[in-house]
Amino acid sequence: MCRLLAYLGQPVLMDKFLYEPDNSMIKQSFEAKEIEEPLNGDGFGVGWYHKHITRQPAVFVSIYPAWNNRNLRYLASLVQSDCLIAHVRAASVGDVSESNCHPFHYRNYLMAHNGGVEEFDKIKRSLKDKLSDERYLWLKGQTDSEHLFALFLEYLSQKKEDFTADDVADSFEQMIVTLKEMMRLKGIAAPAYLNMVFVDGERMVGLRYTTGKDVKPLTLYYSEGSKYVCEDGVCYMVPSEGVDKSVMIVSEKLTDIAQDWKKIPDNHMVLVYKDLSVKLRKVVV
């Protein structure tokens, strides 16, 4: 499996997520705590926005382990953004290649996935058949993750241009319905694990879901406050008292500060709107 992080809020240096916390993303790349396989060394990726320059995100991916990439170490202490995604990969479906590294970039969207679909090859062709030429040609890698996001994007493209976080959530649900039907037709009984995040620089949605009945989804948490800070080696979310807001979604808690983290309930989504208000929504499919 993999580990992921998404953030939207007050501008923060990337270093505050990747290196400084006790359980930073770099720490999770070689010693993840809340998943059976602790090693996530099959590449990494980060994506971030500078909306005063362009709506398009910057993306940096590599097949090297995150803990051993000097370029990432240099970047992290100098890149500041109000919206970013980070991901460390443990390859399941697909080779170790840059085209299979998250986050996946489409237009001004970034997406990352923690989980997988067993026996994905059985449904890969039927999934592609549901894609328009644009989404089909967008696919560059082999992963179940990228193909699922292509299907999700197919549904999102049918929404109005000024879509909301609710429209993103609707598109995730439509993707799940289609996936479950394809799995049923091909006799895939093993549960699919779908912890997924979407950002576009202005809104963010995180999905915590599994298709298996009586099966626990993988861990996913969110944290909200006025801003996220690291001071003297201590990282925490400052409680919100005014208009400033920040929200983070993570596979694992970055710190042991219990009040900072809320577990997203099983088979729910967390929706973060343009005003950075937050809502939990049950997946109903």
Catalytic positions, please? Answer: 2
d(CA 152, CA 261): 28
Indicate the burial class of 203 (C-beta count within 10 angstroms; 0-12, 13-18, 19 or more): buried
| Bridge partners (DSSP) listed for residue 282 | 268
d(CA 49, CA 64): 23
Strand 109-116: give its sheet, edge to edge: 104-106, 109-116, 193-199, 204-210, 268-272, 278-282
CB atoms within 10 A of CB 113: 25
